[in-house]
Each structure stands twice: as C-alpha cells, then as structure tokens.
C-alpha cells in the first residue's frame, strides 16, 4: 500500500495517529503528508508494511533502509523523536489477517486515528464480521497534487533518469536511496535481489575490535547451549528473533544487550551507518552501526530447522580490548560471551551463516578503513 497524497486535515487534533505505507521509497508526497500528521496530532505511529518482502521489482528496498528514510525526513523538519515511532508489519495471506495485525498495533500504541487508502475495504470487512474499531479511520485526499507513485520512481531509477528522480524525492533521503537501497533496486530489476525466506526472522550483531595492544582483530561470540536443536554447542554471534511489529535495528539493540550485557543507545538512525553510543561508557563518544547485509537460505543445514532470514549489523572499533571484556554480563541464552581472535573463531566452526557475515564485515574493514572508530 502506498500513500502518495497530501492530507487535508486542517484543524489541530488531539490523539495519536497511525499511517501505513510501504514507503518504497519515500517521496515528496509522503513527506508532506507525514509531516502534516506529525504536526497536527500528539504523536504519529509510522507503520512500515511488507517488512519481510524484498528482492522483487515491487518490493526491493529492505525495511531497515525505509526506516532510515522516515527518520531522515522527520530529522530535517525538526520533528522530535518523542513525536513519532516506527513499527513494521509483515504481509499476510488475507486482508482479514492484515486488519487483525493493524488493530493490534493500534491497541498497543493507543491509536485514535488510522490513516489508510483502504478505508472502504476495511469498513466492509468489519461490517460483515460485526467487529468494531476503537479508532477512527481517516482517508488521504482522493485527488493528489503529487501525481507520482513510488513505483514510478523505482522505474525511473532503473532507467537511469536520476534528474527526474531528484525532483520527486526529499533531498535528505539521497544518502540512503543512493547507497544500499539503490543497489537493491537495481539488483531486483535484474532478478538478482536478495529475498527473505519464510520462517523465523532474526538479527545478528557483529562487534569487531582491533585490539590496540596486540594489533589483532577480535569478534564477540558466545556458545549456544548444548540443548539447542540447531548448532548445539557452536560459537555464534549475539542475536535472536525479531519480535512482532519490532524494527530490525531495535531488535538488534535489544538482543545485543540481553546476550552480552553491553547496552547500545541509538543517537541517529537517519544515516548509514547509524550513530550509536555504548551506554556502559566504553570507547569514544560515538560509534557507528553498519548494515552488513541480509542472509537467507533454504538449506536447513545453514538456516536451521525453522528456516528464515537474518539481518546483520556490524560495529567496528579500534580500542583496548580488555575494557570491553570487563563489561560483559549476559542475561540471555548465549553462554559465556567472549572475544575470539577472528581467524581462530572461523576455523573453530560457527553457527548458521555467521562465518559469511564476519567475513563480509572484515571485507568492509579492508575496503573502507575509515569505517573503524578509533579510541581517543
């Protein structure tokens, strides 16, 4: 679903509004619409739809990139972080299931108004089922002053008509659109995009530290319980499942803290890489969290018995290793987290696709040495 209209709400509204879209990519119509809602309601909940769809011409920008675009437009217009929240919902098999998910999101966040182009479809289904809504449905203006859809913009990108694209999108999303998102759009147009596999959707976090005392590269890993069905006793990266409606970056921060005791505060997710800080007071004033990639496989020997996909993030630091080791305090199911010299860790055998993830992170280091945050 794409919202490509200007909203015509003119009076101030109390309450919380939710707006859903695929935002693939955010265009000028989206921006004007979302900023208007943010200014006229107490809070806006922006819902990213089709969050586990990728690799096709219709769905070719991962939700982690779309989330950054939303942060970028609010940041440019000086909308405070307290005024908005971003959640995501997956595609489901029926419209009735989709409505059920939307109602749950709205209940969790106390939504009073829900903005969607599917107003009539929703009301018809509710009428047949006899269900009632606890929020009011509002509809964007029928006739838009912005005559383009995100589909048109994606087509212009694949045709190489970048000057036309620039007229249709906010300037502030350029660093995101023409980074990983651009590559995904082009790859999908050539049927080479990375698709999510059905099953458990996860995140993994790579913390690579180049120890200033010995010059070696270390990675933070832990041991999986011998009771685990998949990869029992194997070394693995911190990570885990994405909760329902949770964004990947929030899942990554949550899982990393639960499994290592190291707490990350997100400072700015409108950029790639995102700007973060270790709350434990470690390292320099700021660190950067990079998108390493999406990892999917139908092979259960790699993906595990539940299948699915993982979205991987990387944090690269050059610092004294020992002070990070002292702060490790796991509270979840990853046993005995510790730092391992990278080559030794890879040789020992790792769970899932963690070897491929770490090698990709190392290649990012080598290609772009300025990605490494150095301790002052």
- Residue 202 tokens read as 């996860």
**Do residues 254 and 340 both lie within one domain?**
yes
**Do residues 37 and 166 both lie within one domain?**
yes
Q: In this prediction, what percent of the chain has a pLDDT beyond 90?
A: 59
Domain final position from 161, 189, 217: 189
Per the domain annotation, does 194 fall within a domain?
no
**Do residues 159 and 221 both lie within one domain?**
no
CATH number at residue 99: 3.40.50.620
**Do residues 118 and 212 both lie within one domain?**
no
Domain final position from 189, 219, 246: 189
- Residue 287 tokens read as 């660190």
Per the domain annotation, does 352 fall within a domain?
yes
**Do residues 102 and 211 both lie within one domain?**
no
Give pTM, 2 decimals: 0.89
Strand intervals (E) in 244-372: 264-268, 274-278, 287-296, 308-319, 335-341
pLDDT in tens, 116-131: 776 677 777 766 766 6
Per the domain annotation, does 169 fall within a domain?
yes
Per-position DSSP letters for 347-360, written without gaps between them: HH-BSTTHHHHHHH
**Do residues 226 and 338 both lie within one domain?**
yes
pLDDT in tens, the chain (376 residues): 333 333 344 445 689 999 999 999 999 999 988 999 999 999 999 999 999 988 888 899 999 999 999 999 999 999 999 999 999 999 888 888 888 899 999 999 999 999 877 667 777 776 676 667 778 887 765 434 667 789 999 999 999 999 999 999 999 999 999 888 888 899 888 888 788 888 889 999 999 999 999 999 999 999 999 999 999 999 999 999 999 999 999 999 999 999 999 999 999 999 899 999 988 767 556 789 999 999 998 888 888 888 889 999 999 999 899 999 999 987 777 888 999 999 999 999 999 999 999 999 999 987 766 666 666 5
**Do residues 177 and 207 both lie within one domain?**
no
By C-alpha distance, which of 365, 19, 97 is closest to 208? Answer: 365
Task: Identify the burial level of 167 via C-beta atoms within 10 angstroms of its C-beta, where 0-12 means exposed, 13-18 middle and 19 or more buried.
Answer: exposed
User: How many Cβ atoms from other residues are within 10 Å of residue 337's Cβ?
Assistant: 23
Per the domain annotation, does 253 fall within a domain?
yes
Note the pLDDT of residue 87.
97
Per the domain annotation, does 6 fall within a domain?
no
Domain final position from 150, 165, 189: 189
**Do residues 24 and 144 both lie within one domain?**
yes
Q: How many domains is the chain built from?
A: 2
User: How many Cβ atoms from other residues are within 10 Å of residue 213's Cβ?
Assistant: 9
Q: 27 is in which domain, residue-wise?
A: 16-189
């Amino acid at each position: 679903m794409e919202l490509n209209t200007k909203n015509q709400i003119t009076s101030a509204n109390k309450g919380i509004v939710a707006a859903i879209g695929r935002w693939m990519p955010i265009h000028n119509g989206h921006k004007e619409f979302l900023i208007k809602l943010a200014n006229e309601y107490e809070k806006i909940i922006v819902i990213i739809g089709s969050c586990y769809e990728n690799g096709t011409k219709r769905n070719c920008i991962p939700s982690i990139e779309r989330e950054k675009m939303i942060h970028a437009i609010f940041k440019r217009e000086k909308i405070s972080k307290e005024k908005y929240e971003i959640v995501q919902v997956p595609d489901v098999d029926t419209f009735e299931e989709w409505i059920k998910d939307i109602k749950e999101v709205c209940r969790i966040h106390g939504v009073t108004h829900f903005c969607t182009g599917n107003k009539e479809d929703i009301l018809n289904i509710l009428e047949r089922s006899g269900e009632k809504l606890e929020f009011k449905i509002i509809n964007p203006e029928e006739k838009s002053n912005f005559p383009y859809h995100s589909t048109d913009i994606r087509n212009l990108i694949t045709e190489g008509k970048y000057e036309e694209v620039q007229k249709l999108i906010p300037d502030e999303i350029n660093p995101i659109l023409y980074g990983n998102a651009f590559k995904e759009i082009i790859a999908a147009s050539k049927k080479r995009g990375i698709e999510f596999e059905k099953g458990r959707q996860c995140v993994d976090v790579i913390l690579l530290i180049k120890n200033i005392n010995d010059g070696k590269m270390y990675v933070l890993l832990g041991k999986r319980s011998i009771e685990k069905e998949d990869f029992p006793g194997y070394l693995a990266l911190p990570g885990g499942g994405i909760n329902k409606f949770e964004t990947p970056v929030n899942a990554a921060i949550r899982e990393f803290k639960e499994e290592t005791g190291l707490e990350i505060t997100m400072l700015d997710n409108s950029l790639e890489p995102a700007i973060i800080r270790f709350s434990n007071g470690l390292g320099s004033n700021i660190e950067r969290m990079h998108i390493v990639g999406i990892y999917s496989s139908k092979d259960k020997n790699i993906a595990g018995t539940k299948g699915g996909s993982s979205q991987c993030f990387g944090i690269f630091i050059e610092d004294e290793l020992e002070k990070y080791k002292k702060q490790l305090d796991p509270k979840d199911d990853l046993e005995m987290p510790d730092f391992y010299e990278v080559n030794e860790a890879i040789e020992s055998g790792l769970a899932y696709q963690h070897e491929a993830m770490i090698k990709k992170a190392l290649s990012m280091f080598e290609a772009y040495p300025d990605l490494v945050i150095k301790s002052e």
